[in-house]
Amino acid sequence: MMHGPPLHGLLLAGGEGSRLAADGVATPKALVTVGGRPQLVGLVEQFAALGCASLTCLVHADLAPLVDAAALATASAGTPVRVVPCRTPSSLHTFVAGLAAVPPGPVFCSMVDTVMAPTDWRAVHAAAQRTLDDGADALLAVTPDPDDDDAPLRVRVADGGRVTRVGGDAAAYALDTPVLITGGVYAFAPPARAQAHALAAAGGARMRTFLAALVDGGGDVRAAIVPWILDIDHRRDLDAANVYAATWGRSSGRFRPRVRERPGILPAGDTTAGDTTEEGDTTAGVMELEGHDQTSPAPCRITPAVVSPARHGRA
């Protein structure tokens, strides 16, 4: 049951998509086709279905004239949606400009190039609502590191799901199993929103700097662990996203992301802390979603698995 105010939705599309363009994809990143529709339209539809109180799409000023406002209005299914053009010098400034356009209250935020399965979106949103209702400052969607991300933002998650470190080189995480990275999806309580504004005003320029400052400053930052998150930086990512999207809703041959067991930490959609996996052994962790049915509104049951994730992650 939801006790706190519903989350406002924020979609960030302030970048230029230069890496995708360098791979020969002429369509702006926010408008590439994933699952048969423009990515931004699909995200608006997803956020509306999650129950966001409002939807704000912050887009690069050059992209704004290309956005189909009517398609967004249809996708939002009655949820208020607005497109705000921007020209910002950094990821943090883009985020802060987006926050300035969002009504007061908690916010659920995603980069425009993030691709997750519908059940994972529902699980992360539910975890965000529950976590912020409980008084946390923020929630980060994280995923196992595939070792092929251009600039991964690594995070350390303690037993119980609290984020204890953000950033640092690979050596600092050499003993983590698995190594986790951010996936481009976040939720922030009002105090964290205010901290982002203050950091940008003080000269901060990167979203990852803000996330690290939240944790280093003693903020209560939690993690929702998702088996598979893609971000569309290159043509290969776009191809992978469409292969993945084609599996959503199938009743057979379901795509089953595989990740290592991590004792003591629940995946975003798990509500069964202490599932018994062997006689006398109760665990909760980053686990395979057994029979991961993308049409089911309920959390899927989990069973232990061995990691074999594909490409994902970013801040």
Per-residue pLDDT, 150 = 79
Is CATH 3.40.50.80 what the domain over 8-245 is classified as, yes or no? Answer: no
Identify which of 151, 255, 137 has the alpha carbon closest to the alpha carbon of residue 187. Answer: 137
CB 157 within 8 A of CB 265: yes
Strand 163-166, strand 81-86: pairing: unpaired
* % of the chain surpassing 90 pLDDT: 70
- pLDDT digits over 149-182, tens only? 778 999 999 988 999 999 999 999 999 989 999 9
Least confident of 105-119, 129-143, 279-293: 279-293
From the number of C-beta atoms within 10 Å of its C-beta (0-12, 13-18, 19+), residue 239 rates as exposed
Would the pLDDT of 29 be above 90? Answer: yes
- Give residue limits of the domains in the chain: 8-245
Q: Which two tokens stand for residue 310?
A: 């594909």
Per-residue pLDDT, 245 = 94
Give the mean pLDDT of 47-68: 96
- pLDDT digits over 213-223, tens only? 999 999 999 99
Per-residue pLDDT, 215 = 98
Strand 288-289, strand 163-166: pairing: unpaired
Task: Return the higher-pLDDT residue of 106 and 267.
Answer: 106
Would the pLDDT of 105 be above 80? Answer: yes
Half-sphere exposure of 7 (CA within 13 A, CB side): 31
Per-residue pLDDT, 268 = 52
In degrees, to the nearest 5, what angle opens at C-alpha 39 toward C-alphas 311 and 221?
Answer: 60
